[in-house]
Every structure is written in structure tokens, then in C-alpha cells.
Chain A
Amino acid sequence: MFRFIFGRLAVLIPTFLGVSIIAFSFIRLLPGDPVMLMSGERVMSPERHTQIMHQLGLDRPMYVQYFDYLTGLLTGDFGSSIVTKRPVLDDFLQLFPATLELALCAIIVAMVLGIPAGVFAAVKRGTWFDQSIMGVALVGYSMPIFWWGLLLIIFFSGYLGWTPVSGRISAMYFFPPVTGFMLIDSLLSGQTGAFKSAATYLILPTVVLSTIPLAVIARQTRSAMLEVLGEDYVRTARAKGLSPFRVIGVHALRNAMIPVITTIGLQVGVLLAGAILTESIFSWPGIGKWMVDSVFKRDYAVVQGGLMLIAGVIMIVNLVVDLLYGWINPRIRH
């Protein structure tokens, strides 16, 4: 197991270097003058230009600049915003809990609904029940989620007036962030109605963000279950006279979960990509909206740092999924 962990970590190093090269060259590939871009000034004299060039260290050879950037990354320096001058890492850490809360709620909803749906569809294979679940799953899988979000807003916020349109909690409530998770913080604050308010703000973004993972998990669970249900040990378990619930829930599901866990791990990238759209629609103050806003504000230092940090999160999650997978399924370690 130790060798397995070590091997996985070793593969991560070149990926990390590659990602850092992409983030580093991104700013230099942009059309226009890097000095103008990084200093955020519009017009400047040639003397000022040389001076800033020197100040930002852009007159040094490329490899020195890259090495500098890399040592900065390793010491937690991801650059500073051109617009607000705040360190990118601070903004990221402040906004990340909002995205994490939304993504966690979405993946929990997707698992809680998707796994049973897939299991039932597999057990009832070929019936109208199976066909309608899989039909709905395919629609969910094909859904342009930015449009889905707008439809939900039209119906639930506009027509029925049940849910708010944007933000994380009603402006009526104010309390200092403790965990950064609005659901937990609102409970901790002890203010009546705060939790309910946070929940109503969370519900539509969660539905939108969970749509595609839910469909993928349901489809994957169904096909994994179908494969496992045909195995000899399931027949043996049935022949022993175990209850159908025990055969399906324990003998079959446990083995079918292995590919499903991989699928769930792969949804992290999907969730973060989905967060870009979901957060833009619902004005959810997370890293997805932050990145889109930064692209539009031409705050390229933030985009550069954000790219690096988001790729870092994905690499870490993938590593954890890999290790979990190796732990559940020892054959993969070799």
C-alpha cells in the first residue's frame, strides 16, 4: 500500500509541473502587452514601461521567471489581483467554501437519488420502470444546465415565488462566517429562520448542479449492477436462500460500487465545470463565478492563480479517489 501511495504521488509531480507551466505561460500568451496586463494601466510612457518591466521582473530570462513563479507557488504565493490588489489565495480561500458547500450538496443529492435509482432499474430490467428511469436519466445527461437553471428560476422563483433568485442567504440575516458553510453557520448563529433562508437559497443551485452527476451515477450504477447480477456468486447467494434484499443490497451492490466510486470521483471536474455555469446563473459567490468575472474584468493574475488552484484541487481529489480505489480493490495496486 505504501508503495502504491508513493507511486501515485510520483505521477502527480510532472502533472503539477505541467499545470504550472500552462498557468505561467497563459499570461504571456495573451494578446497585448504583459506589462499593461499585469500592472493594469492603460497608457504609459516608455520610461515607465521599462521601469515596471524591471519592477515585475519581466526583463529577466523566461526560465528564471518560471523558476521564480514555481518557488512562489510552493510557498503559497499565487499572485495578487490587478483590480483589488488582494492575494489570489486569500480570495480563493474565502470563496471556496461556498463552492464546496454547493458541490457537496449536489453530489450527495446525486448519490442518494442516483444509486437507488440505478439499482432498482437494474433489478427491474426491461420493465417500464427501468425504461422511464433511464429515459429521465438520459434527458438529465443531455441537459444544458444553464438553461435548466433559467427554467427553474422562471417557474419556482418567478411564477410560484417560492425561492429567491440569487445569493446565499437573505440580507435580513448577518453573522460572521465560522465554517464558511452557510447551512452550518446559520445554525450556529442561533438566529431564527436563518437556516431556512440559507436552505431556500441553496435548493435551486443544488438541483441544477446535481442534474448531470445524478444522471451519470444512475446510468453507471445500473450497468455495474447488471454486470454483477449475472455473476456466479450472486446466484450462489440466491441459492442459499438469502432474502432478495440481502442478495441485492449486500452481495451485489458492494461489488457494483467499485466502478461507481470511480465515476463519482470523475464527477469532481464535472461539478467544478458545472459550478462555473450554476454560480453565474444564481450569482452564487463561489470560485466559478469568481473565475468568469475575472476573465471578463481582464484580471488575468486572478485567472492565472485560480487556474492553478482549481487544477490543484482536482489533482488532490483524483489522488484521494485513486487511493480509495486501491484500498477497496487491492488488485489495482499492482
Chain B
Amino acid sequence: MSIVQNTAETKTGGTPPSGLSEFWYYFSRNKGAVIGLFVFLFILFMAIFAPFVAPHSPSIQNRELLLLPPVFQQGGSWGHILGTDAVGRDILSRIIYGARFSLFIGLVVVTLSVVSGVLIGLVAGYFRGKVDTFIMRIMDIILAFPSLLLALVLVAVLGPGLLNAMIAISLVNQPHFVRLTRAAVMTEKLKDYVVGSKVAGAGTLRLMFLTILPNCLAPLIVQATLAFSAAILDAAALGFLGMGAQPPTPEWGTMLAEAREFIQRAWWVVTFPGLAILITVLAINLMGDGLRDALDPKLKRS
């Protein structure tokens, strides 16, 4: 880190920059990341203010306007910019409300898997020995299944629904955080500053959480971003297979599942919810790349 601060110092003329401005300096050099950030903030805004932004209610069915095409196609109307679905609900409004579900799923899954994964990984990497072997074997077992299959089966056990889908996706995501934390803790633990605070009398918990953990955060933040987008994709996939959020919830994957039978007649019913998933996931992944550039000291030097 010292190298980075030195180079940043010379640029700002002597005064050491705050961590945040240094971060922004590297993050904003990646144009894609900045675009991703703005798109993400836009989606977040839509999700929070959905009742004010959405032109219609996501659940009101208009029996007179079934499968109305979007505005730019013949027969479309400005009342329903992206058209209506098979029971006459406004697609744009459902997509806007759907952003709430996807972002909420991402947030819950990342929180659950980061908290549990980091705790377990910290214990494994700090104590090593039998505890470590035991934990890593369990993670190997979870990783031996394709994640979507394991999530599907877990949801079959717990019962279909949004909450159970989130629990299942957290569980299959968590081994990545365990492995990453463990590897980072193992390298940090041997460094002089850790030995130093140990000699100075720091206790085990202090060493684990205050000395070592903050220095392992960079790769974890990057992985958390990737897990956020992966969770949105997995939840949509479960919804699409009929095992996630249940109709009439305006979740994007569930909307796609409902729209499947109309793909030959009404392309817009299928196209727009999927486009919403793609744009959201892409924006988050762009941010993830920028975060890696800003937080990975190995890349900064090059």
C-alpha cells in the first residue's frame, strides 16, 4: 500500500489523500465502472421510488388491453410504453417493481453469505489444523454440486418461494467467501505486523477481527460484488424454473416463466424482463471490475 500512497501523494502535491479520494481516483479511471455505477444508482432509484415512478400498478389487470405491443410498434400506445402482458398488466411497471425484488435478493444473499463465509473462513485460516481441515472438507462437499442444482433441490426441500430461494442461494455462494477469507488470513497471519501485535499482547479476537480482517477486505469486496450479480442471476433462474418467487410477484425471472408460452406471439413480454436482468447484472459486474482495479494493489502498480 505504501507504494500507492507515495504515487498518489506526488500527484496531489504533498498532502496525503484520504482513503476515499484515493479509491475514487483509481475507480474513476475505469470508464466502464463509472457507467456501471450510474446505471446501478438509476436502478436503485427506480426500486426505492417504484410507487411514484411506475405509471401503473404492477398487479392491476386491464382486460381490454391484453398483449398490447410496445409504443414503437404498430398498435402500441403511450399509456403502456413497453406494452402489456397476457393478463393486461403494464410491463414497464412490473419491471420497475421487479427491481425491488432483484436488488433485495442480491443484498440479502450477499449479506448472509459474506457474514457466514467470512466468519467461517477466518476461523479456518486463523486456527488451521483439524478445524481447518473439517471446514474445508465441508466446503468441498458443497462445491461438488452444480450451484443451481443444489439450490433447486434445497428449494424443493424448503418449499418454493422467494425467502427459501435466497437461503439456498446464500448457502451455495458461501464457500467462495470461506475459501477467499481463509487464503487471505493465512498470508496475513505470517506478516510482521500481526506478530507484532501478538507480542504486544493482543488477544485472539482482537487479532482476528481488528488486526487481520481489515487487511483481507479488498478481495472480499470484489467477490461480494460478483456474488451480488450472481445472486440476481440465480434467483431469476430459480424463478424461471418455477422454484423462486411465485406468480403474480413481479420478479423478473418469474415474469419470464409466465411469458414463455407467448414467445411466438408477443416478443416484448419475453424481451424486456430479461433485458432488465442483463442490464442490472452488467452494471454490477462493470462496477466489480472497477473495484478490482481500485482495490487490488498488484494491478495498480502495472
Contact = CB atoms under 8 A, between A and B. Distances in A.
Interface of A: 11, 14-15, 18-19, 22, 26, 29-31, 135, 138-139, 141-144, 146-148, 150-151, 153-154, 158, 230, 269-270, 272-273, 276-277, 280, 291-292, 295-296, 300, 303, 307, 310-311, 314-315, 318
B43 interface: no
Contact of B152 (A18, A29, A276): A276
Given A138-B286, A144-B237, A15 B140 contact: yes
Contacts of B240: 146-147, 277
Contacts of B145: 19, 22, 269, 307, 310-311, 314
A102 to B, nearest CB: 14
B35 to A, nearest CB: 11
Nearest to B243: A295
Given A18-B141, A154-B263, A303 B270 contact: no
Contacts of B253: 144, 146
A271 to B, nearest CB: 8
B278 A314 contact: no
A176 to B, nearest CB: 31
15 contacts: A14-B140, A15-B144, A26-B157, A138-B286, A139-B278, A144-B233, A144-B237, A144-B278, A146-B253, A147-B240, A147-B273, A147-B275, A151-B271, A154-B270, A311-B144
A142 B302 CA distance: 27
Ranked nearest first, the 3 interchain pairs of A and B with the lowest CB-CB distance are A147-B274, A18-B141, A273-B146
A142 B152 contact: no
B46 interface: no
Interface in B251-288: 253, 256, 260, 263-264, 267, 270-271, 273-275, 277-278, 281-282, 285-286
B270 A144 contact: no
Contacts of A148: 274
Contacts of A31: 157, 159
B103 interface: no
Contacts of B148: 273, 276-277
Interface string B117-157: 00000000000000000000110110111111100110011
B249 to A, nearest CB: 17
Main secondary structure of the interface of A (DSSP, over half): helix
Chain B residues touching A, range: 35 or more
B263 A153 contact: yes
B152 A291 contact: yes
Given A144-B277, A272-B146, A307-B145, A150 B153 contact: no
A295 B146 contact: no
Interface string B229-241: 1000100110011
B21 to A, nearest CB: 25
Given A15-B137, A141-B285, A280-B241, A158 B263 contact: yes
B241 A277 contact: yes
B289 interface: yes
A184 to B, nearest CB: 26
Nearest to B257: A146
B267 A147 contact: no
Contacts of B149: 272-273, 276, 291, 307, 310
B302 A230 contact: yes
Contacts of B55: none
B258 to A, nearest CB: 12
Contacts of B88: none
Given A151-B271, A291-B149, 6 more contacts: A15-B140, A18-B140, A144-B281, A273-B148, A295-B152, A307-B145
Contacts of A14: 137, 140
Contacts of B286: 138
A123 to B, nearest CB: 16
Contacts of B140: 11, 14-15, 18
B242 interface: yes
Given A144-B236, A144-B277, A144-B281, A150 B141 contact: no
B147 A273 contact: yes
Which of A144, A303, A307, A311 has the most B CB atoms < 10 Å from its CB? A144
A18 B175 CA distance: 15
Contacts of B243: 295
A277 B240 CA distance: 9
Nearest to B256: A147
A26 B153 contact: yes
B144 A138 contact: no
A36 B209 CA distance: 49
B278 A147 contact: yes
A324 to B, nearest CB: 19
A148 B137 CA distance: 36
A243 B147 CA distance: 45
